[in-house]
Structures are given as structure tokens and as C-alpha cells.
Amino acid sequence: MKKHLLILSVFLFTVMFLAACSQESDTPAAEQDDIGEKLKVVATTTIVGDAVAQVGGDDIDLSVLLPAGTDPHSYTPTPQDVAKVEQADVIFANGAGLEVFLENLIESAGASDKVVHVSEGIDLLTFGSHEHEHEGGDPHTWVDPNNVMVWVTNIEQKLSEADPANASVYAAGAKAYTTELKNLDAWIREQVAQIPVADRKLVTDHVLFGYFAEEYGFEQVGALIPGYSTLAEPSAKELAEIEDAIRELGVKAVFVGNTVNPVLAQRVANDTGTQLVFVYSGSLSDPDGDAPSYLEYIRYNVSAFVEALK
């Protein structure tokens, strides 16, 4: 009799244990705080990822798709990226047409309802009268910290919606980071004041610093690649025109991003007798590099502009 009771007890314990495990695994992501599971968040670029990290802090499980130093215009997703996107609760993307790879990726993963475009709400610059239009406008919204403040609001709202238990944490992170961005904006204005107004002319590898130029009083004279994407190619006529403009306007430097091949920029710099200056464009650096965070990314680029143009 005792033997039968022992077997029955073990059986009942096993059934109860399996039922408990099943109930735990079915718990929605937004309700996992009681059992210690964090919100699974994916960001597309290192720059987007850094902003998300400043708001979410240690209360989210964050993955970034693009490695440091990768051009977001030309990135090809990996099978690991598909898995990350499938498992994510929220996916933060720059949006505005930057991540051309994202549409197929989220379609493959069935994750279109998870995507948040952090640039939503920003008035996008257009390419004006130039021939090479980019559908949706200029996607490089992050080069102006005032736009990243919009990012922060969008990130906080989505994280709080997905994980209301930690809404106060996300609000505090957003507030603190916005203060840092405002301080960064003030620092940029102080630095730019060192450059004579007549010398605030930017020539870059592709049309990248439009928002920065508009906010801080620069003129974006032109770009070696005629468009918002590094995937475009200039014609011989377009190259000749930009070289003529550099000479006629007395442009002091050609700025080339860290994610593109500098051969073309070096050729133009040599032809026009201007210096070639490297800056960070679509990606942060590795953690031990010069721009491991967005704040340091902006400080590095602004310092490069000032040193070359003052």
C-alpha cells in the first residue's frame, strides 16, 4: 500500500511541476518582470542601439544587428539576424528609408508589427533640385542631436507601452539622456563659433550632414556620391562639377565617412589640393575606438570640422 501511495505522490508532483512550467513559458513578454525575464529589444544600427540603451538601461535585453563600422545602406542580414528579429519583443530602426535591408528581414521573420521607426515625427529634408532623389527624404537624422531627442521620446513611449512595469525607469533614462543631448547641442554651438562663417562649407562622400548643416549654420556644398546613399555612383561630369565647386569656393577639406571606401575622396582631395579628413558616419566605433557612444561620435566629428575649417 505504501508503495502505491509513493508512486501516486511522485506522479502528482510531476504533473503539477509540468503544468507550472507550461504556465511560465506562456507568460507574455510584457508580464515577465515577476519571473526576472527582460524585454527582448533589437536595434538596427549601433547609433540607434546606443540611444535605446540610454533609455532602457539594464532593464532590457538589447541586441544590435549591424556590427560597428558597417554601412547601413549596404548591409546584408545574416541568418542570426532573422533569429534575433523573430525572438524580439520590440525592434527599433532609424527609418526614413535608411535600412533598405529591413523590409525583407522583417517579412522573413513575420515581425512587421514589432518595428518602431525612431525618426518618426522628424521633418525630413529633401534633396531639393538635385537629380538624384531619395524616396522619403534624408534619412541621416542622427547628425543633429535635436533630432535624437525625438528618437528618445519615441523609444521611451514604446518601451513603456511594451513593459509598463518599468515605465518610470524608462522615463528617468529618457530625461537624463535628453539633458545630455541638450548639453551636447550647446557645446556644438560653442565649437562652431570658432569657424569663420565663410569657411563653414562641407564636402562629404555622400549627402550625410544636411541636418547638422541646417541646424548649425553650415553650407553643404556638395557630395562626391550624388545622393543620400553610398550605393549611388557619380558620373564623370558630376565629379568634375564638385571639383570645380571646391576650387571656386575655397573649400578647405573633404570629409569622408568611416564606413565607405575612401579611394574616390582621396582622388578628389588630390585633384583639388584639399585635405582629406575622416569622420564617423553611419556607425559608432568599437568600444575601444574614438566614438564608442553617440555623444562621443558627435564630439569627434565636430572637433574634426573645427580643426579642418577654422
Q: Which three cell numbers stand for residue 28?
A: 507574455
Question: For residue 92, which phi and psi values (nearest 5 degrees)?
Answer: -100, 125
CATH number of 195-309: 3.40.50.1980
DSSP string, 7-26: HHHHHHHHHHHHHHHHHHHT
Does position 42 have pLDDT exceeding 60, yes or no? yes
Does position 136 have pLDDT exceeding 60, yes or no? yes
CA atoms of 161 and 245, how far apart (whole Å): 50
* Model pLDDT for residues 163-220, shown as the tens digit of each residue: 999 999 999 999 999 999 999 999 999 999 999 999 999 999 888 999 999 999 999 9
pLDDT at 32: 46
Reported pTM = 0.84
* Model pLDDT for residues 256-279, shown as the tens digit of each residue: 998 777 888 899 999 999 999 999
List where CATH 3.40.50.1980 sits in the chain: 36-188, 195-309
Please report which helix (H) or strand (E) contains residue 257, including its range: strand 253-257
Residue 93, amino acid: A
* Model pLDDT for residues 70-114, shown as the tens digit of each residue: 999 889 999 999 999 999 999 999 999 999 999 999 988 889 999
- The confidence band for 1, taking pLDDT boundaries of 50, 70 and 90, is very low
Q: Contact, 297 vs 47, CB < 8 A?
A: yes
pLDDT at 286: 96
Average pLDDT taken over every residue of the chain: 87
Choose from 51-55, 73-77, 97-101, 234-238 the range with maximum mean pLDDT.
51-55
Helix (H, G, I), strand (E, B) or coil at 277: strand
Alpha helices in the chain (DSSP H): 2-25, 46-56, 79-87, 102-109, 145-162, 167-192, 210-216, 236-249, 263-272, 294-309
CATH class, domain 36-188, is: alpha beta
* More confident position, 208 or 228: 208
